[in-house]
Amino acid sequence: MTAREFNDSNPAYSVFAPAVQRVPFVFNSPHSGRYYPKSLLEASRLTPPQLRRSEDLYVDQLFSHIVEIGAPMLAANFPRAWLDVNREPYELDPKLFSEKLPGHANIRSMRVSGGLGTIPRLVAEHMPIYNVSPSLEEALDRVELIYRPYHETLRKLLAKTVMEFGHAVLVDCHSMPSSGSKSEDQSRPDIIIGDRYGTSCNGSVSHELITRFSDLGYSVTRNKPYAGGFITEHYGRPLKGFHAVQIEINRSLYVDEDTLVPKVGFGALMEDIRNVMNHLVSIPDSGFESETIAAE
């Protein structure tokens, strides 16, 4: 399957929205897509379970209840191993393509050097994806036909929220492996809250998330080792009324990391997330409004 084969009956992404949006929050799950294009499976040297090691397993389901509390959610159906929308549009890896890359491509970012550009070369555990690399034309098609519409949809959801409520809070939802690489501490906390070191959102958002998850018994850290990716950095503009925070959930809490099958604790974690999100969307508007007014 090429990018052009996604269509209305087989959408690249979905928006789940309440009949009426009741809170100034927008949720996003850019890495939980689990529809693997046939062309990717045919070109890959990896098995489907291996490809899924880059997937934020079932994160869209863990946060699916947010529609009930009055917030929309954007979720990718395409997999991260095929296209990563939590990157700049042209973080292209010169090791992946035989053709000369366009001059505007960012070929020197740390994410590209790690094989995790807009079109990933590797999945988790440093496993090469392709036997047959995609052509540059196909890669650019993914950017133009899927990446750009995805971000345009996200921008519209946020702009509509600001118009209705005076500010918008984007909650970018992710999961992470339970252990890191040799270059970092092997063990990871249950939850990591990323706010680009306090620059991407009102501090009350991070404080509320850290406090509520901690109160439920989860180990929580802030910005280490994940401070938020391109989406958090790009959309987090607090002085303009746009706030963005990233939530990373340790996969070992809810899924067997070998079989990728949900654990018995999946439902309990989902209920805890529901509890925390109910508190989060109840944060008073006063702090957000003062920041927006000050920028005008």
pLDDT confidence tier of residue 287, bands split at 50, 70 and 90: low
| Residue 144 CA from chain centroid, whole number | 19
Looking at every residue in the chain, the average pLDDT score rounds to 93
Q: State residue 182's pLDDT score.
A: 53
The answer to whether residues 197 and 250 touch, using CB atoms and an 8 Å cutoff, is no
Q: What is the pLDDT of residues 19-36, one digit of tens each?
A: 999 999 999 999 999 999
**Structural domain total, the chain:** 1
Residue 268 within any structural domain of the chain: yes
Domain-located, residue 32: yes
Question: In this predicted model, what pLDDT tens digit does every residue of 168-192 receive, in sequence order?
Answer: 999 999 999 998 655 555 689 999 9
Which CATH number fits the domain that encloses residue 48?
3.40.630.40
Give me the mean pLDDT over the 222-250 stretch.
Answer: 97
Q: Is residue 264 part of a domain?
A: yes
What are the pLDDT digits (tens) for 118-156?
999 999 878 999 999 999 999 999 999 999 999 999 999
- pLDDT tier at 7 (50, 70, 90 boundaries)? confident
Residue 87 to residue 151: CA distance in whole angstroms: 11
Residue 289's pLDDT is 58
Candidates 257, 62, 54; CA nearest to 171 is 62
Assess if residue 64 is contained within a domain: yes
Assigned domain for 276 exists: yes
Is 20 a member of any domain?
yes
Query: Read out DSSP for 144-161?
Result: IIIIHHHHHHHHHHHHHH
Give the per-residue pLDDT at 184: 55
d(CA 7, CA 177): 32
Percent of the chain with pLDDT over 70: 94
CA nearest 125: which of 49, 38, 60, 33? 49
For residue 44, the number of C-alpha atoms closer than 13 Å in the C-beta half-sphere is 23
Tens of pLDDT, residue by residue over 51-87, are 999 999 999 999 999 999 999 999 999 999 999 999 9
What SS3 state is found at 216? coil
Whether 91 maps to a domain, the answer reads: no
Residue 121 lies in a domain: no
Q: CA 13, 17, 21, 24: dihedral to nearest 10 degrees?
A: -40
Identify the domain containing residue 228 by its residue range.
3-86+136-295
- Comparing CA positions, the residue from 239, 172, 215, 175 lying closest to residue 28 is 172
Which has the closest alpha carbon to 164: 14, 280, 17, 60? 17
Whether residue 286 is predicted with pLDDT greater than 80 in this model: the reply is: no
Average pLDDT value for residue range 37-62: 96
